[in-house]
């Protein structure tokens, strides 16, 4: 049972579940008694009139589509980088290009940072 999940995150979806508890009349004969029903494999409570199932609603928690796609992208980028690293270890030409690519990416970061600083 999950008591509370704050799903304000755009990356989680929460479905199902029920915060309602069966109403039990305190004045009814035998109200509040519990039993395990082997026919439907549920715990039940006597509410004074009938047996009510407890815990028949389940909550599902999933990653949103956006989170799943983001993780898929990260996995693909990681695999691509690992493949390039492996190739660079056995092929000097690939190692040279990877080194140049890394240098250009660092240069781009510096230029972007200076450009953004000058905007202020």
Residues 38 and 82 in one domain: no
Residue ranges making up the domain that contains 71: 65-119
More confident residue, 72 or 6: 72
| pLDDT of amino acid 69 | 93
| pLDDT of amino acid 90 | 96
pTM for the structure as a whole:
0.52
Task: Name the helix (H) or strand (E) containing 62.
Answer: strand 59-63
| pLDDT of amino acid 57 | 67
Residue 97 lies in a domain: yes
Residue 25 lies in a domain: yes
Q: pLDDT tens across 42-98, in order? A: 888 888 888 888 876 667 788 888 899 999 999 999 999 999 999 999 999 999 999
Cα gap 31→50, rounded to integer Å: 9
DSSP 6: -
Cα gap 46→28, rounded to integer Å: 9
Strand partners, 59: 16
Positive/negative CA dihedral, 42, 39, 22, 16: positive
């Amino acid at each position: 049972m999950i008591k509370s999940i704050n799903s304000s995150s755009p990356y989680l979806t929460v479905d199902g579940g029920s915060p309602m508890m069966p109403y039990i009349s305190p004045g009814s004969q035998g109200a509040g008694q519990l039993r395990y029903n082997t026919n439907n494999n549920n715990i039940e409570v006597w509410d004074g009139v009938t047996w009510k199932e407890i815990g028949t609603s389940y909550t599902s928690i999933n990653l949103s589509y956006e989170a799943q796609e983001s993780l898929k992208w990260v996995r693909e980028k990681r695999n691509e980088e690992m493949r390039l690293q492996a190739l660079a270890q056995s092929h000097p030409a690939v190692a040279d290009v990877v080194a140049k690519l890394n240098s250009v990416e660092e240069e781009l970061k510096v230029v972007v940072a200076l450009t953004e600083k000058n905007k202020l």
